[in-house]
Structure formats: structure tokens, C-alpha cells
Homo-oligomer: A and B are copies of this chain.
Amino acid sequence: SVNPDLASERQTPSFSVEKLTAWLDGGVEHTRIRRAVVEAIDRDPVFSRENQYFQSQNERYEAAVRKRVHLQKKMHEMGWTENGPEFKDIYRALSGDIAFLLHRIFMRSISMLGSDKQIAKWIPLASQYQLIGSYAQTELGHGTYLQGLETTAVFDIATQEFILNTPKISAMKWWPGDMGRSATHTIVFAQLYVHGKCYGIHPFIVQIRSLQDHSLCPGITAGDIGPKMNFEHIDNGYLMLQNVRIPRENMLNKFCEVQPDGTYVRRGSQKINYFTMTTVRISLMSDEVITPLMKACTIAIRYSVVRRQSKLEPGEQEAKILDYQTQQEKLLPQLAAAYAFHSINNYLEELFDKGYREIQRRNFDTLPELHAFSSGFKAMITQYCTSAVEICLRACGGHGYSSLSGLPSLYTKILASCIYEGENTILLLQTARFLIKCFMAASTGQSVPPSVTYLAAVKPGKCPAKNKLDFLRPDIYTEAYQHMAVRLVSSTAAKLQNLIQSGVKKHEAWNQCTVQLAQAAKAHCHYITVKNFAETVERLETKAGIQKIMKHLCDLFALHGIISNAGDFLHDGYISGAQMDMVTASYLDLLPVVRKNAVPLVDAFDFTDKTLNSALGSYDGQVYQRLYEWAQKSPTNKQMSPAYERYLKPLLHNTLSKL
């Protein structure tokens, strides 16, 4: 039975939860498909995550491999395919808790960077799991700065082979997923040398383990990098290469090739090598970043209407903690952010699908803008969502800190998204470089990509809001964000120019501006996110109930951002102190409004209890009962610890001196 404190929250939603779910899914039909997938997976005991919080790294790895292998069978049974509409749903239903995730990146790299011949050879093998692929880019001493990679691939014209080597310890491949214990093949990124000349980083297909007995191939040293903050189920690995020879045909050569005589031929921008990474950044946003935030919100908000603490008025029952303004202020902006990022992510995915098609046609024009988008938004969204999940965890007090709440693993996993696929600060600076370039171009009247035309429209002016209600107008707050972003970009551009004109070397000047540049890039992404959310809400006009609540969330997201970055808006007086008080008033007024619909808003995410895997977040709100039941299953309760006989008993029986 549902805890009455949770049930009462579902009595009178101001909108149709079912319709909101369908909107989030992109249509009723998709909701139907997703639910069928989730049901099939939830019912299958092999996919159970019931004991996950009690398992060791070895156990988690084994379970992940078992699930992956079982999934192949299941997909066959159910008629699901890798490219079918169900694929995303499968991953979501499994919470990504399966092995061989890099296999897909391996295949995508070959599809994108390989010739037709290479695709014809490798893709069928990979699709049928006759090999297991990985993607070996990062090295022990080298991460986001790819040009610094030290692994070498020297062309041997005599044998028509490349000879791969790890020249020193810092060049060891380190971190690639599925490589520590599973992969038979990997794509190694290495500096290509032909006739002693270095041609930069190129991708090579290298076999690392025997297909017969899984032993390491000659010249290969590989293993697992050990425990991490999360991802116990993935065998992130290390790899050393000593004179490993691979045939000339194993260099992925759609865009560049070494011909038999050693002639190097390029057929496109070298940047294309990075495009896999660029698209990966966007493709991971939904599953690895936004979905976890949605889960954290679901857990924290459901718990916050079940948990009671202290009294709002003397003599009354203890209050639900979500009735406290401070709790609302912690959780509801994170809920709004989940919807805001869901919306911008849809926009980015469309943009990248279009971009991908262009690039397949060898039109590279949109690459700089796509790169700026993927870098900046990856950094901004991962950082925001990581903080948001942490806020959800902390907002659940002690029980949030228990692994059984599900929040610790959500947090430790999402945190990695700030680091992998490009360190966030470096990514922000790449976006900043694009913004400064576009700002300079725009200010001399040159044309710039559509996403940054606003930079040309620098107007001083003041915010026209006269009362707190004006701050519920999307035009007012979107304009404020735009003004702030332009100010940060233009003032940093000015600082940069002043430094250079005063004789500081270009690179040193850039370094001296990077703190502000990163801030400007974030402001740009924040502005685009607010604008996009407001436009999305605008387009919802026919679905009245949903539009109204989404409008509240959009307002809340926007005003929360203004308050959190108040200094940036107050700095040049665009928003005055008195107006900031109006923002605060409107913001605080919104909290109880959104709070009324908080549970329906997380119900709409439509996570099953098995997907959430949380003692605090279940649909029925039986929090305390579940914590108690789950705790009893812990291996720490399975038997009396040997510590008693060995240490405790002698201590208590005062035989300490004889120990």
C-alpha cells in the first residue's frame, strides 16, 4: 500500500501526468514501446540489480558481462535491434549496468572513420560479437590534449605493417573501458610516423587478446586499473605495446591513408578524427547526465514528502520536510533543471543529427559551431547536474548517505561525466575561443553562425522590469541572460586585447583571461538553455495543463540562475539591487507553487522501482520498512564477524595482555 503521505501528493495534480510522460518520451507510441522494454527487463531475474549495493568490483564486473551476454539473447528473443527504437530504452532500463559499452564506440569509430572496405570487414564481426572492441585514446600522462599522446605507430614499408610502441610509462593507455579484462580488439590512437616524419594522431585497429583463449597477444601488456569512485562493473584498463605489428589496412582510412609506398594522403579535415568524441559528448548527455538527475529528483522529492521533521507550528504534527522553504529551495530548482536540460538536449541532438549527415557528405562547415556546442554544453550540463545530484543527496540527510538510497551511486557515477570525454574547464575554454572569435568577427560586421549572432547586438540599457511579476516574463529574463552573456564575452575580449596591446605575449594573455573566459562560456550556454526552455514552453500552447506547469519550471530555472549568479547581473547595473529583490521575491513565491506538483512532476519521469533501485524513492513511499528490509540483506549481517573471536572477545575478557 502507498504511504498516505505520498498518496495525498498525487490527489490533485494540475496537469495530466500521463500526458507529460508522453511528451518527455516524444509521443504516446514511444511511451508504449519504452514501457514494454522496461517490463521485459524488470521481469528478467538476470537483469536484477537487487544486490548491487552489496557487491565487490569483481562481482559487479561478472554480473555486467553476464547481463550483456544475456541481453544479446534477449534482444534476439524480443526482436529488438541495436538501431531500433528500443535501444535507448534498454540502456535506460538497465541503468547502463552492462559490460562492453565501448564496443559501440569501437563500431561507431569504424563506421565514421573507416573506409567502406574496413566497414565491410569489421562491422559484421563486431555486430556478431566475434570480437569485443574497445577505444584506446587516453594515456597515463595524457588526456584531453590529444596532440600530446605519445604512443607511436611507425610504418614499415618492407612488411607493409605499422609497428606500435609505448615509448615510456606515461604513454601507457590508461582508462579505456572494457580493456582491462574483456576486449579482444581496440582502436589505438597513436602518432603516425612514415619515413621518420610525424603525421600526428591516427586511429589503428589492434588485436590485444587471443580469440581462442583470451590470452594477451605478443607484445601486449594489459590489465585492470583497479578501484574507482564508481563504474565497478566496467574493466577500465591499461595497455602497453611493445613492437606490436599490425597490417597497413588496420589504420582507419576514410579520411587519410598511408599508401603502400609510404605516401600519406589526406581526404578531409584532420579535425574529423575528433568528431567521434564530439558526438559522444552529446549522445551521453541524456543517459549519463540528465536521466540520473531525474532519478535523484524522484528519490529526493518522494522521500521529502514522507520524511517528517520538526514542527512548522507548535502543537501540530511534525511537518513533511518538503513543506520547509529551505528544502523546496534545495530540490525544486534541480527538478526545474532536469526539465530544462531535457529540453536543450533534444535541441542539441537534432542539431547533431543534422551535422552528422553533413559530415558524411564531406561538408565540414558546421564543425566549429558543433564543436563549440558540444564542448560548452557538455561542460555546463555535466557540472550543473553533478551539483544538482549532490544537492539531492545532501537534502536527504543521513538516509541519503546510505548506499541503499541509490543516491551515492548516482552521484559518484555522474561526477565522472565532468571528467571523461574532455575535462570541463578545457572544454569551456574551447567554447570561449569560438565565442571570442565570433565576437571579433561580429564586431567588424562579418557574418557568424546563427547561435552567436546575439553577440553583435550589444546594447547597454537596463532591465525594464518594474515589479516582481515582470520577472515571470520570459522576454525579460531571457534578455537579462543575453545581456549578461554579451557583457562577459565582450569585457573578456577587451581585457584580452588590452593585454596584447600592452605587450603581453598572445598565449600568456590568453592564460591570464582564462578564468573569465570559462565564465563567459558558461554564461553563453546558460543563456541558450534558458532561451530554449522558454521557446519550448511557448510551443506547448495546445497542451494547457502541461504548458502551465512547464512555464513555472522555466521561470524557476531562470530566476534561480539569476540569483545564483547575482553578481554577474548586478555588476553593470543592468539589474538593480531593488530589481534583484523582485527576482528573489518572485523566485520564493514560485517555490510553493511548484511544490504542490512536485510529486506528479517526478512521477512523470516514469521510473519503475527496479530502475530507481532506491529504498527512499519507491513509488509506494514505504521508506523505513524498505531500509530495514534491505539492511538485513547486507553481507555485514550474514554472520558474526571473525573479528569477535579474534579481537573483541580477548579484549572484553581482559586477555589483552596475552595477545
Using CB atoms and an 8 Å cutoff, list the residues of chain A in contact with chain B. Answer: 53-54, 56-58, 61-62, 65-66, 68-69, 72-73, 128-132, 138, 140-145, 148, 169-170, 172, 174-175, 180-182, 184, 211, 214, 223-229, 235, 238, 307-314, 318, 323-327, 329-330, 390, 393-394, 397-398, 400-404, 408, 412, 415-416, 418-420, 423-426, 429, 505, 507-508, 511-516, 518, 563, 565-573, 577, 580, 584, 588, 624-625, 627-628, 630-637, 640-644, 646-652, 654, 656, 659
- For A577, the chain B residues whose CB sits under 8 A away are 570-573
Which of A69, A138, A238, A659 is the most central at the interface, judged by chain B CB atoms within 10 Å of its CB? A69
* A223 lies within 8 A of B181 (CB): no
> Which of B57, B307, B402, B654 touches A128 (beta carbons < 8 Å)?
B654
18 cross-chain CB contacts under 8 A:
A61-B636, A72-B656, A130-B654, A145-B318, A174-B398, A214-B648, A214-B652, A224-B637, A226-B631, A227-B402, A227-B404, A228-B408, A229-B408, A238-B631, A323-B511, A326-B429, A326-B514, A329-B515
* B69 lies within 8 A of A659 (CB): yes
- For A132, the chain B residues whose CB sits under 8 A away are 648, 652
Q: A515-B326, A565-B567, A571-B566 are contacts. A403–B228 as well, Cβ < 8 Å? A: yes
CA distance A130 to B656 in the complex (A): 11
CA distance A184 to B651 in the complex (A): 12
- For A57, the chain B residues whose CB sits under 8 A away are 634-636
> Which of B142, B402, B419, B635 touches A225 (beta carbons < 8 Å)?
B402
- For A567, the chain B residues whose CB sits under 8 A away are 563, 565-567, 569-570, 580
* A318 lies within 8 A of B636 (CB): no
- For A631, the chain B residues whose CB sits under 8 A away are 223-226, 238
- Chain B, Cβ-Cβ closest to A633: B226
How many copies of this chain does one complex carry? 2
* B326 lies within 8 A of A182 (CB): no
- For A512, the chain B residues whose CB sits under 8 A away are 325, 588
* A226 lies within 8 A of B634 (CB): yes
Known: A54-B226, A140-B627, A325-B513. 5 other contacts (CB 8 A): A57-B636, A65-B643, A214-B649, A226-B634, A227-B403
* B324 lies within 8 A of A58 (CB): no
* A324 lies within 8 A of B143 (CB): no
CA distance A504 to B487 in the complex (A): 41
- For A505, the chain B residues whose CB sits under 8 A away are 313
- For A628, the chain B residues whose CB sits under 8 A away are 140, 169, 172, 238
CA distance A650 to B73 in the complex (A): 12
Q: A181-B641, A640-B214 are contacts. A142–B309 as well, Cβ < 8 Å? A: yes
* B58 lies within 8 A of A636 (CB): yes
* B144 lies within 8 A of A309 (CB): yes
- Listed from nearest, the 6 A-B pairs whose CB atoms lie closest are A566-B567, A226-B634, A224-B636, A227-B403, A229-B408, A65-B643
CA distance A184 to B224 in the complex (A): 42
CA distance A423 to B394 in the complex (A): 9
* A61 lies within 8 A of B634 (CB): no
* A129 lies within 8 A of B656 (CB): yes
- For A659, the chain B residues whose CB sits under 8 A away are 69, 73
> Which of B144, B226, B636 touches A403 (beta carbons < 8 Å)?
B226
> Which of B169, B310, B580 touches A148 (beta carbons < 8 Å)?
B310
CA distance A572 to B646 in the complex (A): 66
CA distance A174 to B142 in the complex (A): 46
> Which of B636, B642, B650 touches A226 (beta carbons < 8 Å)?
B636
- For A424, the chain B residues whose CB sits under 8 A away are 394
- For A143, the chain B residues whose CB sits under 8 A away are 309, 397-398
Q: A308-B141, A402-B226, A646-B66 are contacts. A515–B325 as well, Cβ < 8 Å? A: yes
* A514 lies within 8 A of B324 (CB): yes
CA distance A342 to B654 in the complex (A): 40
- For A563, the chain B residues whose CB sits under 8 A away are 567
- For A68, the chain B residues whose CB sits under 8 A away are 647
- Chain B, Cβ-Cβ closest to A637: B223
> Which of B224, B393, B419, B654 touches A634 (beta carbons < 8 Å)?
B224
A471 → chain B, closest Cβ, in Å? 15
Which of A226, A516, A571, A630 is the most central at the interface, judged by chain B CB atoms within 10 Å of its CB? A226
- For A226, the chain B residues whose CB sits under 8 A away are 53-54, 402-404, 630-631, 633-634, 636-637
- Chain B, Cβ-Cβ closest to A429: B326
- For A131, the chain B residues whose CB sits under 8 A away are 652
A40 → chain B, closest Cβ, in Å? 18
CA distance A530 to B206 in the complex (A): 57
* A129 lies within 8 A of B61 (CB): no
- For A565, the chain B residues whose CB sits under 8 A away are 567
Q: A312-B511, A419-B401, A631-B225 are contacts. A182–B636 as well, Cβ < 8 Å? A: no
- Chain B, Cβ-Cβ closest to A589: B512
> Which of B54, B323, B508, B580 touches A312 (beta carbons < 8 Å)?
B508
A247 → chain B, closest Cβ, in Å? 21
CA distance A566 to B563 in the complex (A): 11
CA distance A516 to B425 in the complex (A): 31
CA distance A473 to B647 in the complex (A): 58
CA distance A54 to B228 in the complex (A): 10
- Chain B, Cβ-Cβ closest to A314: B507
* B229 lies within 8 A of A624 (CB): no
CA distance A57 to B570 in the complex (A): 50
* A310 lies within 8 A of B145 (CB): yes
> Which of B140, B148, B398, B429 touches A309 (beta carbons < 8 Å)?
B148
- For A634, the chain B residues whose CB sits under 8 A away are 57, 224-227
* B227 lies within 8 A of A54 (CB): yes
CA distance A308 to B170 in the complex (A): 11
- Chain B, Cβ-Cβ closest to A215: B640
CA distance A630 to B404 in the complex (A): 30
A275 → chain B, closest Cβ, in Å? 20
